[in-house]
Chain A
């Protein structure tokens, strides 16, 4: 076999792999969408037809008309954004210090951040639930947001530190020689330059907040305060098998914002994630 033919052959093999990959990874999502545009009658059709005979968007209307569903979406957005904003406030100065200062135990601090990321939220939720209960912060967004912030802050710091490492220090040094304080140089030079890194870390943490399940599941019991992740879980429990199509539509609605935002910014986010993960 000539080299050219061998390459062609390998190209075909690569595409075969792509098809298999796409089937496995996109298949379940396509099936979800397929179920979400079916009428109740077509849910029970047993042959596989991805595009139903009578496609309908009724199910989406039904999901959104559920009195609680828009509230779930709004709560999900509120908690996700507030958690990411809070995490940013705590993470940014810390990431700056870890990137710019050389101090004893700096590596230990980085490792500590990693260790926090590895602790299951469930472990800390056991006592945190009790504290929040004592403070009267269960069933409140304020209490949930505090924990969202704490959970997002280590990853936020880690990602941002990786990004800041890539910004040359000479720019701040120049600003400081010209009379800027370090804080002034941080505000006027470093922050504007780190906007892409801040955005990536913010968006990824907001998406993770949108997906956050365990904290609101444990902390919040009032339906009108629940975010979307717990909301669709409750949907699954309350809708019976004859309304699977509505559950599917609700799930699609919960997935689309996260996937859309992520895909728009995927190059930045993955770049920032890698900067932290690989360099260490």
Chain B
């Protein structure tokens, strides 16, 4: 009897536990909690801490610090800052414009090839994707070897072969930033291509058929159908690759190291150098806050462009 009671209570306790577990598993929070905690610990709290550090005089080596806003004055008053921001601006804008243009051309060429069933399309696709998946550091080394001004640099050897004078790709401060742009476009175009290709796939064929009936030329079809239809995905693309380019760091370091002088020292690299080379935590934190604000602004635009979920 007592045994029965015992087993009955354990059974009902087990049943209760199962029910409880079932109720718990119906709560999204339980499923989201691990990720939420992870992101809080590794993103949210550090981001708040960066803002806190930016209002101090902390260095990387000395844990003691006082609160001050002198760091903001020091960073904004730094005569190097306008140059750094300008280089960053040129690097980002030129990369984005070229990646979008080239990505669109490549996507259209591939799209046409697939539609016509031309052989070799997949080979072209594989080649572009390979450039994208090459680790950033390796990409920087690859382009360092292309631009190198010693005799094994490919581009100058090419120029010499066709009888042109060599170019100071990496040692001329005005040229170096464009060399960095070329390397970055080489790596980043595939991403734009993937998005734009997907965009091309969903343009209704009937639009082109109707335009063809009306006698629109290919160029007009491109201008009045393709481009407007791709507009949303172009905007999203622009924002994403702007952020990626802004955060680019691993490609530039082996390519130019930020030089010659500070000709290719973009904001991310400058922030890195400030914190981890000069151990200047507070000024570096101000630059990190700047990077953070730019990212948040871009994210904000991105969110406004996303299609509303039904």
Contact = CB atoms under 8 A, between A and B. Distances in A.
Interface residues of A, number: 97
A90 B134 contact: no
Contacts of B268: 120, 122
B46 A109 contact: no
Contacts of B34: 89-90, 93-94
A40 to B, nearest CB: 11
Interface string B32-70: 101110110111011101100100000010000000000
B22 A29 contact: no
A66 B113 CA distance: 45
Interface stretch (B23-31, B81-89, B171-179): B23-31
Given A31-B146, A93-B35, A25 B130 contact: yes
Given A44-B151, A93-B31, A182-B22, A213 B247 contact: no
A97 B306 contact: no
A170 to B, nearest CB: 18
A106 to B, nearest CB: 8
B47 A32 contact: no
Interface size on B, as a range, is: 35 or more
B124 A18 contact: yes
Nearest to B275: A126
Contacts of A123: 46-47, 50, 288, 291-292, 295
B142 interface: yes
A219 to B, nearest CB: 10
B151 to A, nearest CB: 4
A244 interface: yes
A270 B35 contact: no
Given A120-B246, A181-B18, A251-B142, A94 B299 contact: no
Contacts of A114: 299, 302-303
Contacts of A200: none
Given A14-B112, A17-B109, A255 B302 contact: no
Contacts of B246: 120
A28 B26 CA distance: 53
Interface string B149-192: 01110100110110000000000000000000000001001000
B154 A48 contact: yes
B254 A233 contact: yes
Interface string A87-127: 00111011011100101001101011011101111111011
Contacts of A97: 28, 31-32
A6 B130 CA distance: 33
B133 A259 contact: yes
B245 to A, nearest CB: 11
B205 interface: no
B31 A126 contact: no
A126 B281 contact: yes
B272 A153 contact: no
Best-buried of A32, A149, A154 by chain B (most CB within 10 Å) = A32
B271 interface: yes
A142 interface: no
B8 interface: no
A183 B141 CA distance: 48
Contact of A24 (B49, B145, B186, B218): B186
Nearest to B126: A263
Contacts of A27: 146, 154
B194 A274 contact: yes
A119 B133 contact: no
B138 interface: yes
A14 B250 CA distance: 34
B37 to A, nearest CB: 9
B143 interface: yes
Given A127-B53, A236-B254, 16 more contacts: A18-B109, A29-B131, A93-B32, A94-B31, A111-B306, A118-B298, A126-B285, A127-B49, A181-B22, A181-B25, A214-B250, A218-B276, A232-B138, A247-B141, A254-B138, A258-B134
Interface of A: 7, 10-11, 14-15, 17-18, 21-22, 24-29, 31-32, 35, 43-48, 89-91, 93-94, 96-98, 101, 103, 106-107, 109, 111-112, 114-116, 118-124, 126-131, 146-147, 149-151, 153-154, 157, 181-183, 207, 210-211, 213-214, 218, 228-230, 232-233, 236, 241, 244, 247-248, 251, 254-255, 258-259, 262-263, 266, 270, 273-274, 277-280
Interface of B: 18, 21-22, 25-26, 28, 31-32, 34-36, 38-39, 41-43, 45-47, 49-50, 53, 60, 105-106, 109, 112-113, 116, 118, 120-121, 123-124, 126-131, 133-138, 141-146, 150-152, 154, 157-158, 160-161, 186, 189, 194-195, 198-199, 218, 233, 236, 243, 246-247, 249-250, 253-254, 268, 271-272, 275-276, 281, 284-285, 288, 291-292, 295-296, 298-299, 302-303, 306-307, 309
